[in-house]
């Protein structure tokens, strides 16, 4: 296949429908050598080209199992890192746009987590009493930190199981970067809210007293997903007033108040499955990213199911949306011409430690 595909500047203004044709040609040319993976939050005009789709946990399993030479990840940076860690050395992971990041993941850096670990060491012995747990929405070096310190990775699908495992190892948990997933998961295990303290990474000792740290079962990093914080309890109240028979389902990255007011709480895979298995004619209010909700609404319309987006404001993952048809065309056409662009490659030492934490997660989740 011969196309002058090197620079992205040649692709920026290609019409979307032309991109569709060129992506299909590149996919046919590369065949089984390339697999395109897409997260459920991905925009529809990119999602349509995916060979494999899912939430973070499902995509992690898929990345570990595929034998394709090239894994083109339509998601965000940390997801592509996970794919690189779990895939073979002979496989190449590509992120079509390096600007596809995650604001939540950026709220926890290795330097800040290491500082927190040192500060905890002034009060207790963290390597003996604290299990570090990082949400999969984090950089590879934080997964490596967990691997090195006897910790583990979790996703929104398996957070409850992971916390149970973590408490079997040690008596406390440091959970980062999303406080809301940690709080809801701890609540589901029966841990009182007053035993889950927020660790403010901008304050010495996380802004906590020694007594608070000693009392805490879970130390919650002061991080959050800006998309899921758009949803508010009043959105649920308005829906229930208008549709008393309606059902509310939310993602655990939402605030505790939203989760507590919902009928169901779970990961993107859980949300899709729950609505798919529901009776015809049911009406749903869904608290998660707009692209996914729109896709569900369209998919189940023929079954007489009504799916509403929780927020009155448009609210989507803007960083994931950076991967557009033009970037995907650029990445796959370069591959078809023997050129790798935007390769994601986690350093070997870091990858080995991160894999420890990820393998622990996959073992617990099987």
- Structure tokens belonging to residue 66: 């595929």
69 with 92, same domain: the answer is: yes
Instruction: Tell whether 130 and 19 lie within a shared domain.
Output: no
DSSP 186-226: HHHTT--GGGEEEE-TTSGGGG--HHHHHH-SEEEES---T
What's the domain range around 197? 105-226
pLDDT, residue 296, reads 95
Q: Is residue 263 part of a domain?
A: yes
Same domain, 94 and 47: yes
Question: Does a structural domain hold residue 183?
Answer: yes
Quote the pLDDT of residue 317.
Answer: 58
Q: Which of 225, 226, 135, 228 shows the shortest CA–CA distance to 174?
A: 135
The per-residue pLDDT for 366 is 82
Q: Are residues 119 and 208 located together in one domain of the fold?
A: yes
Q: Which of 42-46, 186-190, 203-207, 236-240 has the lowest mean pLDDT?
A: 42-46
**Residue 123 reports pLDDT greater than 60:** yes
**pLDDT at residue 321, rounded to an integer:** 67
Shared domain check, 164 and 196: yes
pLDDT of residue 320: 59
- pLDDT for 8 equals 75
Same domain, residue pair 139 and 185? yes
More confident residue, 159 or 60: 159
Per-residue pLDDT reduced to its tens digit, 148-194: 999 999 999 999 999 999 999 999 999 999 999 999 999 999 999 99
Cβ neighbours of residue 316 closer than 8 Å, sequence gap 6 or more: 41, 43, 227, 289, 290, 291
Q: Do 17 and 128 lie in a common domain?
A: no
Which range is least confidently modeled, 15-19, 73-77, 317-321? 317-321
Do both 213 and 110 map to the same domain? yes
Residues, the chain, total?
366
DSSP string of 274-314?
HHHTSPTT-EEEEES-HHHHHHHHHHTGGGT-EEEES-SS-
Q: In the chain, how many H helices and how many E strands? A: 17, 14
Q: How many CB atoms lie within 10 A of CB 233?
A: 14
- Give me the mean pLDDT over the 242-252 stretch: 98
Q: Is 360 inside a domain boundary? A: no
Residue 352 lies in a domain: no
Residues 213 and 235 occupy one common structural domain: no
**Is the domain of 177 the same as that of 218?**
yes
Q: With respect to residue 351, please indicate whether it lies within any of the assigned structural domains.
A: no
- Assess whether pLDDT exceeds 60 at residue 2: no
Supply the mean pLDDT for the chain.
93
Number of domains comprising the chain = 3
Please report the pLDDT score of residue 144 as a whole number.
98
Residue range 253-297, pLDDT digits in tens: 999 999 999 999 999 999 999 999 999 999 999 999 998 999 999
Q: What is the DSSP letter of 152?
A: E
Of 194, 209, 226, the residue at which a domain comes to its end is 226
156 and 92 belong to one structural domain: no
How many CA atoms are closer than 13 Å to the CA of 212, on its beta-carbon side? 14
Which of 178, 211, 226 is where one domain is finished? 226
Reported as a single tens digit per residue, the pLDDT across 292-313 is 999 999 999 999 999 999 998 7
Question: What is the rounded CA–CA span in Å between residue 158 and residue 160?
Answer: 6
Asked if residue 361 belongs to a domain, the reply is no
Task: List the CATH number of the domain containing 132.
Answer: 3.40.50.10800
pLDDT value of position 5: 54
- With respect to residue 268, please indicate whether it lies within any of the assigned structural domains: yes
What confidence category does residue 16 fall into, taking pLDDT thresholds of 50, 70 and 90? very high
Domain boundary among 281, 309, 337: 309
């Amino acid at each position: 296949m011969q196309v002058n595909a090197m620079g992205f500047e040649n692709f920026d203004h290609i019409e979307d429908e032309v991109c569709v044709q060129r992506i299909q040609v590149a996919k046919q040319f590369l065949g089984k050598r390339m697999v395109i993976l897409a997260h459920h939050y991905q925009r529809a005009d990119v999602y349509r080209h995916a060979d494999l789709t899912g939430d973070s946990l499902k995509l992690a399993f898929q990345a570990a199992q595929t034998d394709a030479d090239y894994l083109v990840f339509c998601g965000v940076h940390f997801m592509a890192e996970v794919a690189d860690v779990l895939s073979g050395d002979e496989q190449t992971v590509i992120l079509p746009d390096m600007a596809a990041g995650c604001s939540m993941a950026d709220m926890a850096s290795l330097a800040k987590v290491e500082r927190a670990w040192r500060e905890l060491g002034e009060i207790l012995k963290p390597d003996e009493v604290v299990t570090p747990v990082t949400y999969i929405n984090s950089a590879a070096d934080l997964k490596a930190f967990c691997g090195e310190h006897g910790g583990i990775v979790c996703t929104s699908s398996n957070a409850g199981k992971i916390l149970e495992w973590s408490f079997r190892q040690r008596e406390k948990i440091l959970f980062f970067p999303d406080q809301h997933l940690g709080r809801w998961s701890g609540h589901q295990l029966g841990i009182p809210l007053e035993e889950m303290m927020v660790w403010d990474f901008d304050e010495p000792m996380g802004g906590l007293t020694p007594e608070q740290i000693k009392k805490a079962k879970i130390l919650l990093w002061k991080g959050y997903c800006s998309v899921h914080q758009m949803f508010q309890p009043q959105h649920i109240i308005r829906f229930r007033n208008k549709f008393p028979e309606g059902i509310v389902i939310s993602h655990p990255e939402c605030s505790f108040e939203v989760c507590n007011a919902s009928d169901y709480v779970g990961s993107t895979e859980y949300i899709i499955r729950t609505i798919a298995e529901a009776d015809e004619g049911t009406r749903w209010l869904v608290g998660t990213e707009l692209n996914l909700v729109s896709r569900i609404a369209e998919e189940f319309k023929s079954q007489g199911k009504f799916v509403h987006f929780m927020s009155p404001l448009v609210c989507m993952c803007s960083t994931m949306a950076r991967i557009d048809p033009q970037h995907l065309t650029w990445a796959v056409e370069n591959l078809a011409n023997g050129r790798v662009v935007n390769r994601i490659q986690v350093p070997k030492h870091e990858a080995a430690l991160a894999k420890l934490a990820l393998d622990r997660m996959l073992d617990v989740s099987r």
